[in-house]
Chain A
Amino acid sequence: MLILLSCLLALHVPMQVRAQQPAVSHAPAAGSLSTPASPPHTSAPRTIAIDGRLAADAGLHVGDRVVVSSTPDGQGDTVRIGAVVQRRADPSEIARNEYEVRLHLDQLQSLIGYGDRVDRFAVATRDSAATRQALAAINQAAFGFHAYRSTAIAVETSETFKVVSRFHRAIGVITIVASAVFLLCILLLKVDERRRDVAALRLIGISRGSVMRSVVIEAAAVAVLGSVLGVGIGLVTSGIVNTYYEALYRTPLRFSIVTPGIVLFAVVLSLVLGVGAGFLAARRLVRTPPLALLGR
């Protein structure tokens, strides 16, 4: 069983990062050349990686020397910034304004006095059978900790966004119900406005069915046009939402995605609602005797 172990110390400890003061250099006297006194020999500082947000806010770059310590006034360690990393599109981090710094495991353990401890291990296995075996073996031997599949952890940490999704779905249902009522109301008003036209058509022999079909086709046409306009507005709004929130939270995460499935669902729903509202409005009108429609 091939198992790769990577130890991760994902401790939420606030680290203090301070830039080092630049060394002051003196120009040589005119007419002479001399090499500036070389600094005393020290071992090369270890490297760290910082996230893009910290780099932007503190004006730090790759190669800069900084001091990291676990307390605001601590001595800490002098390190060199080896890399600036872009945050992942992780929804659980968007509302948090924390900066992220990555150090070598042993250095962080030493800085915070953690001894030979870690918060978690990540284990990569060869295949799903090996995963099952590893889970069983680890949990049988474990004391005080437990092994989980990555998918189980993902489900657990997604709970926040499941709540947001349920909320959005509830708002969506309320909006659809409200839209259906508004649509029915408006269609009833518009169809009622043409009651005299309908009365005249009925009186010259046009059947109820023909009148109803014409109203329903008109309602369907309005629904299709409205859907096309709505999809366009939705795409534009989605773009605005993504642009705004990506800038606000400084994340590559996309907050709104318009998929073909969503477009199809919206168009079909609006067609059904439009045709349904048109049918109900027309049915009400054709049931009324033509002379009553004329006010006689």
Chain B
Amino acid sequence: MRGTLALASLRRNASRTLLAVLGVAIAAAMLLDMVMLSTGLRESFRELLVSRGFQLRLSPRGTLPFDTEATISGAGTIIALLRTNPAVVTVSPVLGASVHVPGADSTVASFALGIIPAVEGDYELVAGRDATADNALVANADFLRATGAHLGDTLRVAAGYNPQLRSFVEERQLVVAGRARFVYLSSGEPAVAMPLHTLQEMTGNVQDDRISLLMVKTRDGANPDSVGAWIERQVPRVQAISTQQALEQVDQRLSYFRQLSYILGAVSLVVGFLLVTTLVTVSVNERVGEIAVMRAIGVSRAHVVQQILLEGSAISAVGAALGLALGLVTARYLNTILSSFPGLPARIDFFLFQPRAAWIALGLLVLSGIAAGVYPSWRAASLPVARTLREEAIA
């Protein structure tokens, strides 16, 4: 009966109820989007970092991986040292450089990675073969499109140029062995990967055995931070960055979005609460006579309170359900905007749907809707019956 009466009360002013539900839905959508934004980037970045199974990244001290052109010398010595630690399972050295592919009319500049195919963690092979031969390379779709090359083609690839002589230097004939998807690169950036030794020869880094980065996979159960601390003691000129530390760096650089999400999320919650409170209060004020009659015929205070709380809860629950759908749509749109950040890995999402966080947020909104009905329901239940009936009869 409480449900029937609550429903009848809401249907009596259908347009008003619909508007209130729409308002709560928009507040719910905004709240959901902000919850997704506050944790989405961090989670998305964490998934990206652990996707290839490497827990540590070693870069030149004072820098983040590929943030500068600094390199680490003596890679072979460092790798041999790392392998003496039983907690270290795999070590993957990486050298980054720019290469040029001269064409008939123009030259394509591309990012190049020197890797060891057996232990690499930078790309997923999509077609063809890996770059196991000294004269092989794998390329992404952007590179193949820019150069017009196909699998099996042989390309002239140069590591530098001499502007005075107007010629390319350190050229090699390399065969496009496979097509790959580079995990950490932004969309639209041409990239190739080739054997580390080949790129070191082309860029003059063989003598010093220079690389840009070392990725380290630790044994299950090993503490990556402890292994990182051991590495930094053994090799002071490198900095070991665990997944957790990398996430903290990202958090610091993009703290603005997290703060914005907290502020807008709090505002959405408050607005949703105020909307439901206003609607329920006005609805109660209009029905004082009806409530007084109910009390006069013996309906208990608790029954009246429950009916009014039910009205507020119904608006919040329906609004939250609509808001979930609306929020997912707007999150997709907003994610499309933010994903076009230059230099951001293509796989990063700013808005990530995490069921637990989403349900908690929407649950909070429904609870606030219930709480919004407390004051008006208490007022309604506390009406002096006789006086209210007299005033309503005269009015």
Q: Which residues of A contact B (CB under 8 A)?
A: 11-14, 16, 71-73, 95-97, 142-145, 159-160, 163, 166-167, 170-171, 174, 177-178, 181-182, 184-186, 188-190, 192-193, 196, 245, 248, 284
**Are B69 and A188 in touch, CB under 8 angstroms?**
no
Chain A contacts for B330, CB-based, 8 A: 174
List residues of chain A with CB within 8 A of the CB of B278: 185-186, 189
Q: Using an 8 Å CB-CB cutoff, how does the interface string of B323-362 with A read, 1 for contact, 0 for none?
A: 0000000100110011011100000000000000000000
| With A144-B163, A163-B338, A178-B23: A192-B13 Cβ-Cβ less than 8 Å | yes
Shortest 4 CB-CB contacts between residues of A and residues of B: A144-B161, A12-B68, A95-B253, A143-B166
B105 within 8 A of A: no
Asked whether A14 lies within 8 Å of B286 as measured between CB atoms, the reply is no
Q: When A72-B61, A167-B338, A171-B264 are in contact, do A185 and B161 touch as well, CB less than 8 Å?
A: no
- List 19 A–B pairs whose Cβ atoms lie within 8 Å, in order of A's numbering: A13-B70, A14-B63, A72-B237, A144-B160, A144-B162, A160-B342, A163-B337, A171-B334, A174-B26, A174-B30, A178-B26, A178-B30, A181-B23, A181-B26, A184-B19, A188-B19, A192-B13, A193-B285, A248-B255
Q: Of the candidates B68, B168, B271, B286, which one forms a contact with A182 in the assembled complex, judged by CB atoms under 8 Å apart?
A: B271
Chain B residues, CB < 8 A from A196: 395
Q: Given the complex of chains A and B, what is the CA–CA distance between A75 and B356 in angstroms?
A: 54
Q: How distant is B322 from chain A, measured CB to nearest CB, in Å? A: 12
User: Within 8 Å CB of B58, what residues of A?
Assistant: none
Distance in Å: Cβ of B282 to nearest Cβ of chain A = 4
- Cα–Cα distance between A168 and B254 once the two chains are bound (Å): 15
Residue of B nearest to A185 (CB): B19
Give the size of the chain B interface in residues (CB under 8 angstroms). 51
**Is the beta-carbon distance between A97 and B26 smaller than 8 angstroms?**
no
For the residues of A in contact with B, the DSSP-based class is helix
Residues of B within 8 A of A71 (CB): 237
**Cβ-based interface call for B76 (8 A):** no
Closest chain B residue to A162, Cβ basis: B340
**Complex Cα spacing A196 to B75, Å:** 86
Closest to B236 in A: A72
**B279 and A189 contacting across the interface, CB-CB below 8 Å:** yes
Taking A95-B253, A160-B342, A178-B26 as contacts, is the C-beta distance between A170 and B19 under 8 angstroms? no
Please give 16 more A-B residue pairs, beta carbons under 8 A apart, in addition to A144-B168, A192-B286.
Answer: A12-B67, A12-B69, A13-B70, A14-B70, A143-B163, A144-B163, A145-B163, A167-B337, A167-B338, A170-B333, A171-B334, A178-B23, A185-B20, A189-B278, A193-B286, A196-B395
CB atoms of A13 and B282 under 8 A apart: no
> In the complex, which of the residues A72, A145, A166, A248 contacts B337, with contact meaning CB atoms closer than 8 Å?
A166
Which residue of A has the minimal Cβ distance to B160?
A144
